[in-house]
Structure 1
Amino acid sequence: MTTDDLDARAAALDAQHAATDLRDRFLLPDGVVYLDGNSLGALPVGVPEAVESAVREQWGRDLIGSWNTHGWWDAPERVGDAVGRLVGAAPGQIVVGDSTSVRLHQSLHAAAALRPDRSVVLTEPGSFPTDQYVIAGVATQVGWRVEHATPAEIGARLGSEVAAVVLSHVDYRTGELLDLPGITAAAHDAGAVVVWDLCHSAGALPVGLDEHDVDLAVGCGYKYLNGGPGAPAYGYVAARHHAAFVNVVPGWNGHAEPFAMAGVYRGAPGIARARIGTPPMLSLLALEAALRAFDGLTIDDVRVRSLSLTRFLRDAVAAVVPEAALVSPEVDRLRGSQVAFRHPDAYGIVQALAARGVVGDFRTPDIVRLGVAAPYLTHADLVTAARTLRDVLDRGEHLNPAWSRRNVVT
């Protein structure tokens, strides 16, 4: 694809995918091409009204009665079922609340309890830092040995000592999509359980938790699910594991009789036993409203649009900025919903692009990451992004001393 072809090709693709263009369901500033939805999703139109209702009517008028009259008590499981529709989980297997770190900590302890006679946790060395910290912390607590392997090496490293395999479904830097069905099946054949981090896949592509017999999974609510900054995370526990699920953080919300105020913990039946403490209702209700942006659309529809957009963006960057060292997979089935490239001045590039209204993000040491939230982006937006990138580089705007990484507080 040449640079002269970009506009015509974008127009043709936008017409082809017009039925899945949901830009009018989101509140985005005029003149902004937002390519950071894989860090913080855009604001869905229904969220401000939902939050105002939660504050003024539910909290302000109905006060504590809202736990019953407005369904606050049931919200962690109700919203969990809404997330489940996007990640392929039947009702009653996902609970929402707390942070991804807490949910991962909880899930790893549950995995250890499911495989008490095994001593190794297998993970990828390049996983998101929080995942690495939590894995190391839990390993110390339960007596695991942490072993690292690349996704391609996982199969060969599965032995009788491996209790759990813990991986991110999509690499947060490059956008590489891992083989969730294949890795899960291989781990099960070796007697291990699998814990998947879905932060960069939920809401962007099919996951198929039930279909692929995943054991445990976690994810955040603020990226492709558009739940807002600090939106609560979710935890998935396959129904077959509910009876044996050990909640290492046994809060009162997960008690079988939470209002009995018993002095001894007894876990609730089903996914409710994965609940911990009082949920953050305002952010939980914001997430619930945000998920309605997917109404009338299947996750397969989102994936078809996403693949077209990321394929086009990858081609556009290669055509307009041929010196960009693309690191996101070229093959569709291996790519999540982002396009990333390496550049020694990556941080300055991201800042210069943002100054021009093209918002992406930077990942150390040298990655420019362009997240593609399919519902609210068009192919025409991506032409703008690619051409703006070319202009920034040609004008040397990315070399502005104010954007030297030496001046960045990390």
Structure 2
Amino acid sequence: MTTVPPTSTELDAADPLAAYRDRFLVPEHDPAHPLVAYLDGNSLGRPLTATAERLATFVRTDWGAGLIRSWGEQWMDEPTVLGDRLGQVVLGAAPGQTLVGDSTSVLLYKALRAALDHQQAVDPSRNEIVIDAGNFPTDRFIVEGIAAERGATLRWITPETQAGVGTADLEPVLTANTAVVLLSHVAYRSGYLADAQAITAQVKAAGALMVWDLCHSVGSVPLQLDDWGVDLAVGCTYKYLNGGPGSPALAYVRSELQSSLRQPIWGWMGASDPFGMSAQYEPAANIRRFITGTPPILAMQPLKDMVELIAEAGMDAVRAKSIALTEHAIRLVDERLVPLGARLASPRDPARRGSHVTVDHDRFAEVTQRLWDLGVIPDFRPPNGLRIGLSPLSTSFAELEAGIDAIATTLAEME
């Protein structure tokens, strides 16, 4: 007996998180920027209505009335207070291990350099960095720069694009010379979800340090960094954490490592006594040593609203909605895009998939531009991938279907 899958209308009616969509800002109609379906939440999350109010209040009170006094009253602790809340709600991290500040690129550089320098200080033969060739350009470029800077050797792995990095891929490259491994928890192109717990255990058993890029998983996939034994992790906050364009990134450093790691960009805010104006740099004894300059306090404010919204909804519920959305997306892709020559480029197993689905077609670069003009906004990744990014708290099943239909119509018109 064949089971008829539920329609978008039925899925929206049964969605326990449907009411949360009302918390997000609904833009006024703009003919220059029409909006029919937003399918790029894995690049930039939509703003919350509460965020507009929070920012206005912040300007009037914390900044406008508090002025410089607000530094002593609250702002000095903002990177770690907000970091601890993110650790509690979305990272599975105990207090004192997470901070917010800098960009993802800067924090990745700090984490990797600190990890490599520590490993080489303990054992100079540990001079190799492992990374996969399909990782996001920033990750690859930063690793290449550090290798050139420190005379380290890069060990590249090239897993199957749709399968992603697994323990079998790492087995041949992990040796007594491995210093640090950098991988993305969710692959930026295919959406492949790596087994972080198994890989972390494998890397640590080889005596190396494990650094995870969480950019495409934090806020959409439940994380347990403490339980998994992760050493260091970095993630952006403008995707599923809805922090806004260029919002500061987060960094996690396992508590046992903090006293022995020295990040390479020394600055006064990471010193043990920032206002002591000491002649020599002495790093803070805790996670604050990974801070460099003045934290971007204003840019941190939107994160406060989204982390509380996720706490209210619960990460398990967010993940369940994410799976339901991507399963529905794949059904629609099979039904409406595959007959037009498209190919699914993401894992079919939901346990191995994050919150976006990638579909390949040689004409998707042209299709994407036309879709944007129509107000349907997916994302394109070369050479031929159209990414459908689904934010569980702001995306409806009907919006997803409208987007897929527009892709199909546009593709058919171009054939």
Q: TM-score, normalised by structure 2?
A: 0.91
Distance (whole Å) between structure 2 residues aligned to residue 178 and residue 87 of structure 1: 16
What residue is the counterpart of 2:144 in the other structure?
136
The letter for the 2-side match of 1:326 is: L
Q: Find 2:367's aligned residue among 345, 349, 352.
A: 349
Check conservation: 1:21, 1:376, Cα contact below 8 A: no
The alignment partner of 1:95 has SS state of: strand
Gaps of 5+ in 2: 30-34, 160-164
Distance (whole Å) between structure 2 residues aligned to residue 20 and residue 354 of structure 1: 25
Distance (whole Å) between structure 2 residues aligned to residue 82 and residue 349 of structure 1: 40
**1:379 is the counterpart of 2:397:** yes
Q: Deviations over 1:37-82 (max 9, x none)?
A: 111110012111111122222222221111133x111110011112
**1:10 is the counterpart of 2:5:** no
Check conservation: 2:130, 2:181, Cα contact below 8 A: yes
Distance (whole Å) between structure 1 residues aligned to residue 110 and residue 287 of structure 2: 13
**1:76 is the counterpart of 2:74:** no
Q: In the TM superposition, what is the alpha-carbon distance from 1:199 to its structure 2 partner?
A: 0.5
The alignment partner of 1:321 has SS state of: helix
Distance (whole Å) between structure 1 residues aligned to residue 306 and residue 268 of structure 2: 28
Which structure 2 residues correspond to residues 352-371 of structure 1 after superposition, within 5 A?
352-371=370-389
Q: In the TM superposition, what is the alpha-carbon distance from 1:21 to its structure 2 partner?
A: 4.5
Which structure 2 residues correspond to residues 202-213 of structure 1 after superposition, within 5 A?
202-213=218-229
Distance (whole Å) between structure 2 residues aligned to residue 11 and residue 210 of structure 1: 39
The letter for the 2-side match of 1:356 is: L
The alignment partner of 1:217 has SS state of: strand
The letter for the 2-side match of 1:147 is: R
Q: In the TM superposition, what is the alpha-carbon distance from 1:19 to its structure 2 partner?
A: 3.7
Distance (whole Å) between structure 2 residues aligned to residue 354 and residue 327 of structure 1: 22
Which structure 2 residues correspond to residues 2-401 of structure 1 after superposition, within 5 A?
8-19=6-17, 21-29=19-27, 31-69=35-73, 71-84=74-87, 85-116=89-120, 117=123, 118-149=126-157, 150=159, 151-152=165-166, 153-322=169-338, 323-396=341-414
Check conservation: 1:100, 1:234, Cα contact below 8 A: yes
Q: Deviations over 1:6-26 (max 9, x none)?
A: 7x5223322332246410111
Check conservation: 1:21, 1:377, Cα contact below 8 A: no
Gaps of 5+ in 1: 400-410
Distance (whole Å) between structure 2 residues aligned to residue 268 and residue 32 of structure 1: 49
Distance (whole Å) between structure 2 residues aligned to residue 369 and residue 132 of structure 1: 21
Q: In the TM superposition, what is the alpha-carbon distance from 1:213 to its structure 2 partner?
A: 0.3
Distance (whole Å) between structure 1 residues aligned to residue 206 and residue 109 of structure 2: 23
**Identity fraction in percent:** 40
The letter for the 2-side match of 1:94 is: T
Q: Deviations over 1:160-183 (max 9, x none)?
A: 100111011111111111111111
Alpha carbons of structure 1 residues 266 and 20: separation in structure 2 relative to 1, 3 Å: farther
Q: Deviations over 1:169-212 (max 9, x none)?
A: 11111111111111111001111111110001000101211110
Distance (whole Å) between structure 1 residues aligned to residue 192 and residue 199 of structure 2: 14
Check conservation: 1:95, 1:234, Cα contact below 8 A: yes
Q: Deviations over 1:241-275 (max 9, x none)?
A: 11112121121111111111111111112211111
Check conservation: 1:40, 1:228, Cα contact below 8 A: yes
Distance (whole Å) between structure 2 residues aligned to residue 207 and residue 23 of structure 1: 23
Q: TM-score, normalised by structure 1?
A: 0.92
What residue is the counterpart of 1:408 in the other structure?
none
Check conservation: 1:254, 1:272, Cα contact below 8 A: yes
The alignment partner of 1:148 has SS state of: strand
The alignment partner of 1:211 has SS state of: helix
Q: In the TM superposition, what is the alpha-carbon distance from 1:236 to its structure 2 partner?
A: 0.6
Distance (whole Å) between structure 2 residues aligned to residue 304 and residue 359 of structure 1: 23
The alignment partner of 1:236 has SS state of: strand
Check conservation: 1:139, 1:146, Cα contact below 8 A: yes
